[in-house]
Structure 1
């Protein structure tokens, strides 16, 4: 590639984002003349920034909180996932200068499980999703794309869960936290999308005793890499998958879009991020 192409992670704050490590690894591995940096966009400037994205000097960007909805609203074209979720985490300029947006968070979720728990969706049954934010929306979209029969959304504020369930149709059912024990008893998959259990946040305190021993447990949180939920699940023999791969796999289609090479999520990349998280080599 002859010209230097620049992309970045945008949001507020972005100082702790690991996306530059991920994309930087792939740029170096494929010998691409490109850059990927961090660009903090204050909330008061976000709408103007994304509407005038062509003036940024970037060929594309990732978007993190709290700007995913703002970026989507600024786009001239959105893929089906971004339309459905009302949020974009990847944007680029097409040949005509139009701002295009996609949501790849759901692909990150699927790519992670496909890689680390192959066959997890051979018999798509019942899933329990904890939380009702943007990550939950992406997970619900992903599970319905793999034909799960029922997706139960559990949230302390039931109205938020009801909003997502109402958008995604009859296979999605909203519940308050008081129903969790009953729901765990029939779950084939348990997904935590809340920030509970994340470093510096309140712990996620749930009783897994009703959960079938065959149920897969996964967490969108990746700092710490092994959350208390995953430790508890592994200790009782459940298969588990950590959340780091969701970050890595959601970046694949963005990199391919900007730099015309489809990268791989390999052990070396995973090791690089684990080391940065303080997990050793």
Structure 2
């Protein structure tokens, strides 16, 4: 097709041969990269720029803009993600969702439940978990909501050599916040026969247990005597704040239950600051668990989110590097 055929390559919607910047040269004259095609589509008005947001409070530390904006840049997409700090879901509905250029939002605390009321289509994960971290338009004035945190957990396990489905063994969740619900959904999907839950306040966990089907086989650990009966813990997720000192009573229980796993066990830390948390250090140094840092979960849930927002696979390495660059 040559140079004169570039426009045909740009506007053709299917089976367009492309080149890549890492190749020494294009395999045919006039061949373009995906990034170049997207940039040209944007220039001719065929790929309109969308505005994306991370919403919640506080969000000044959020790495979501770095993650998504890096992906847009790598693929030549004209979009941009901004921070929109608020704890008022109605404000997001009024100021963001009504904008025709709104492309979607990553939802953080304290809005993961409050934003449910503005969703017209809710995924199964959103229904079961009872919270969403992603909202995006699906038609004029209509929005879909889902939870990608659970996939961030599952895919982080898999990327770090844990089995996609365990043939035997149990799961463990430390903490009782919103992420613990996503963790429960994730561990059940990975085949955990029983899921133990541990928190400073057991009443929070009992409330969570009531909200999930009996088939999840949740056991709330309230005492050291109860922990003595725990067996064969293969997968664990810590959702307690990483930057706060752990209550001494809870710490004793965490040690007791981590002793029920070992070299073939995997623990994901949901917090991504600090880079190494107290729970991570304990699991690795004292009990020889395979430990996965929180930035893995952040990136992997963001990869799923990126695909929902744009329809494209995220460039994993560039966005991972962008997320961890300040750690």
Q: Compute the displacement of 1:229 (Å).
A: 2.1
Q: Compute the displacement of 1:119 (Å).
A: 2.1
Asked if the contact 1:131/1:192 (under 8 Å) is kept, the reply is yes
Structure 2 CA distance for partners of 1:132 and 1:52, relative to 1, 3 Å:
same
Q: How does 1:169-248 map to 2 (within 5 A)?
A: 169-170=213-214, 171-176=217-222, 178=224, 181-182=227-228, 185-195=231-241, 198-199=242-243, 201-203=244-246, 205=251, 206-207=254-255, 210-213=259-262, 214-235=264-285, 236-248=287-299
Q: Does 1:135 align with 2:168?
A: no
- Unaligned ranges ≥5, structure 1: none
Describe the superposition over 1:136-159 as per-residue Cα deviations: whole angstroms up to 9, x where unpaired.
100101111122100011122212
Distance in 2 of aligned mates of 1:177 and 1:263: 44
Describe the superposition over 1:168-214 as per-residue Cα deviations: whole angstroms up to 9, x where unpaired.
2331122225457426653222321111xx23x11473425733323
Asked if the contact 1:184/1:210 (under 8 Å) is kept, the reply is no
Asked if the contact 1:88/1:103 (under 8 Å) is kept, the reply is yes
Describe the superposition over 1:205-259 as per-residue Cα deviations: whole angstroms up to 9, x where unpaired.
3425733323222211111122222223222432111111111111122211222
Q: Compute the displacement of 1:120 (Å).
A: 5.9
* Equivalent residue, structure 2, for 1:154: 198
Asked if the contact 2:51/2:81 (under 8 Å) is kept, the reply is yes
Asked if the contact 2:179/2:239 (under 8 Å) is kept, the reply is yes
Distance in 2 of aligned mates of 1:183 and 1:22: 42
* Equivalent residue, structure 1, for 2:55: 10
The total of aligned residue pairs comes to 271
Matching residue within 246, 268, 272 for 2:322: 272
Q: Compute the displacement of 1:15 (Å).
A: 1.2
Q: RMSD of the alignment, in Å? A: 2.2
Asked if the contact 2:74/2:315 (under 8 Å) is kept, the reply is no
Higher-Rg structure is 2
Q: Does 1:24 align with 2:24?
A: no
* SS of corresponding position for 1:247: helix
* SS of corresponding position for 1:188: strand
Structure 2 CA distance for partners of 1:110 and 1:51, relative to 1, 3 Å:
farther
Distance in 2 of aligned mates of 1:58 and 1:173: 42
Structure-1-length-normalised TM-score: 0.88
Matching residue within 83, 97, 106 for 2:141: 97
Distance in 2 of aligned mates of 1:256 and 1:53: 20
Asked if the contact 1:181/1:207 (under 8 Å) is kept, the reply is no
- Unaligned ranges ≥5, structure 2: 1-41
Distance in 2 of aligned mates of 1:134 and 1:183: 27
**114-123 or 216-225, which deviates more:** 114-123
Distance in 2 of aligned mates of 1:137 and 1:112: 17
* SS of corresponding position for 1:32: coil
* Equivalent residue, structure 1, for 2:4: none
Matching residue within 308, 318, 326 for 1:257: 308
Asked if the contact 2:170/2:231 (under 8 Å) is kept, the reply is no
**208-217 or 131-140, which deviates more:** 208-217
Matching residue within 50, 70, 85 for 2:93: 50
